[in-house]
């Protein structure tokens, strides 16, 4: 059975290391069929970042494999100084267009690392995030891709507590235009309405704190 594993990476020269053909060959030899690399690289330099970890996340890597996570960790550890990973249950409420040829997608891909507040029961937290909040997020932002990954279990030793990882794809214009980000078509009143509605929902699930937001370029590779 194919599983999706997601990893947060820290290190130097990650844009070069994670797109290297030798690394891809090592991952394929360890049973990885598909590879997604989200890089905080030069094209997204102007974007907003939020940080809870002690240092900014440099990349988010997703793989699809039937193997155990240790095989993938071993390969990625040669490309990064620190690797933390989890097995996830992926949900795709808004499928983005995807090309698995290794090219950079024309998008600002925001990856958010979510942590459930202690005062919210897990079932209630998931019900709000996967239910009403999903619709609110898509209705108040100009996303053309929305992927939710519920953490099932860690695959690296002593992985820090993380409850979910979400990826939202925005038009590239959103890097420098707040109206392009929220889809408010230049209307300041509509922008305010959308932002207020979204932030109220974010606050209800506790995602207004203890959050890492990693802006990224998105690269997809078919390793079969």
Quick: pLDDT tens for 13-51.
999 999 999 999 999 999 999 999 999 999 999 999 999
The band of 174, judged by pLDDT with boundaries at 50, 70 and 90, is very high
Give the pLDDT of residue 146: 98
pLDDT at 68: 83
Domain coverage including residue 126: 3-222
Question: Can you give the CATH number for the domain in which 16 is found?
Answer: 3.30.70.100
For residues 148-160, average pLDDT:
96
Residues 47-93 pLDDT 10s? 999 999 999 999 999 999 998 889 999 999 999 999 999 999 999 99
* Positive or negative: CA dihedral 32, 21, 99, 166: positive
Number of domains within the chain: 1
Nearest of 62, 2, 58 to residue 27 by alpha carbon: 62
Task: Provide the pLDDT for residue 1.
Answer: 85
Query: CB-based contacts of 56: which residues, under 8 Å, 6+ apart?
Result: 10, 40, 49, 214
Nearest Cα to Cα of residue 9 among 117, 167, 156, 142: 156
């Amino acid at each position: 059975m194919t599983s999706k594993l997601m990893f947060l990476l820290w290190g130097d020269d990650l844009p070069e290391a994670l797109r290297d053909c030798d690394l891809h060959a090592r991952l394929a030899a360890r049973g990885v069929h598909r590879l997604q690399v989200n890089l905080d690289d030069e094209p997204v330099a102007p974007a907003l970042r939020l940080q809870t970890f002690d240092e900014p996340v440099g990349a988010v890597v997703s793989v699809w494999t039937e193997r155990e996570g240790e095989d993938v960790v071993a390969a990625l550890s040669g490309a990064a100084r620190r690797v933390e990973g989890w097995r996830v249950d992926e949900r795709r409420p808004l499928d983005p267009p995807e090309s698995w040829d290794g090219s950079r997608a024309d998008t600002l891909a925001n990856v958010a690392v979510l942590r459930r507040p202690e005062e919210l029961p897990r079932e209630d937290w998931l019900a709000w995030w996967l239910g009403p909040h999903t619709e609110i997020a898509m209705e108040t932002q100009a996303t053309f891709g929305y992927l939710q990954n519920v953490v099932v279990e860690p695959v690296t030793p002593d992985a820090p507590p993380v409850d979910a990882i979400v990826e939202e794809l925005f038009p590239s214009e959103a890097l420098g235009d707040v109206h392009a980000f929220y889809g408010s078509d230049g209307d300041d009143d509509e922008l305010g309405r959308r932002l207020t509605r979204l932030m109220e929902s974010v606050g209800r699930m506790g995602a207004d704190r203890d959050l890492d937001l990693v802006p990224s370029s998105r690269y997809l590779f078919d390793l079969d």
